[in-house]
Amino acid sequence: MNLNEIKNFLGKDWERTQYYIAKALSSRITLLDDTNRMILSNSGKQLRPVISLLAARACAPGKINEDSYRYAAGAELLHNATLLHDDVADDSDQRRGKPTIMSMMGPSVSVLIGDFWLVRAVDLILECSSGLDRVMKLFSKTLGDLAEGELLQLQKAMSGDTDQDDYLKIIFNKTASLFEASAVSAAISVDADKTCEDAVRDYAIALGLAFQIRDDIFDYSPEMDTGKPAGVDILEQKITMPLLGAFANAGKEREMETREKIRRIGEAPDRYRTEILDFVHAEKGIEYAGEILSRYIEKAVRALDVLEDSKEKNYLKELAYFVGKRKS
């Protein structure tokens, strides 16, 4: 299975969603319009609108509509808005293996363009009528979650005391919350019943958590072609699942020694990064994270059991396994 196969299966529904994305980003300001086109040309997997459209069709066959497309497009616009802001917060010079807007045009431009994408996402959602009040509250909550997740991550990076509960809260807020909004807004757009809505909600949350854990495994896996060097999270003092797994396996004394290196990373960044990478590999932190990842993938798949059998349901399951095994 690959994502292009699913997009081809979605056919007209995918094309309409892409139409709404492009229409929302159109601007008479040449610099902005050209920059938006450049961002779209490196748009990544577009998982959120894929999940949204599959969820709408799985919940209510034949009932997908223009609001479904707008909600799916809005989720993708909001996602990219947060990436433009994240690149400034994280001082990132690469995104998906390409230079970021921040590195090419400066942090102010990246923030302003992120604001533009965010406003256009809201405008697009406001064009809808299907459960609009609920969907607006859903996306509003997601924006709050994203901000709180970033700030909690920053707080924990400074204190160096992230535990597994903290980590799961951070990745729910930063990643899984928008997956949830993408799927639930889709269910609302087709007036799905509560059983179906709850199923796609549970699926999306578990999938979002798995997606971020997989991303965090990449940081300890230089053999994977991820477009960034290993150990970036370490340099940013982020304690993620592979490191938490190594702590669990190594014992308290070595955990505290390693946490101290994280807190003091600025004193010897190259040496401490290498030592922490070696520690995680030696203590099988990646394998630990992989086991947690697999549990969330299975939780996502099981959540779909209540849905009627369909090609869409099968693709949602395949998508979950894809997220668990993806190489980039």
Are 293 and 245 in contact by the 8 Å Cβ rule? The answer is no
CA pseudo-torsion sign 80, 85, 89, 91: positive
Q: What is the pLDDT of residue 225?
A: 56
Mean pLDDT of 275-292: 97
**Cα 185 to Cα 57: distance, rounded to the nearest angstrom:** 12
- In which residue are the tokens 């396996």 written? 249
Mean pLDDT of 183-198: 98
Residue 92 predicted with pLDDT over 90: no
> How do residues 208-243 score in pLDDT, each as one tens digit?
999 999 999 999 987 665 556 789 999 999 999 999
Residue 45's φ and ψ, nearest 5 degrees, are: -80, -25
Residue 122: HSE in the Cβ half-sphere, 13 Å Cα cutoff: 10
Q: Could you tell me the CA-to-CA distances from 327 to 74, 86, 205, 252, 324 in Å, in that order?
A: 27, 22, 21, 32, 9
Residue 97 predicted with pLDDT over 90: no
User: CATH code for 3-325?
Assistant: 1.10.600.10
Q: In 3D, which of 123, 149, 134, 162 has the Cα closest to residue 21?
A: 123
Rounded to the nearest integer, the mean pLDDT of the chain is 95
Mean pLDDT of 233-257: 96
User: How would you classify residue 128: left for phi > 0, otherwise alpha for psi between -120 and 50, otherwise beta?
Assistant: beta
The token duo for 236 is: 């940013």
Helix (H) or strand (E) holding 98: strand 98-99
The token duo for 3 is: 């994502």
DSSP code for 94? E
Q: What is the pLDDT of residue 209?
A: 98
Burial of 191 (0-12, 13-18, 19+ CB in 10 A): middle
The token duo for 235 is: 């340099």
Report helix, strand or coil for 47. helix
Q: If pLDDT is split at 50, 70 and 90, which confidence band does 43 have?
A: confident
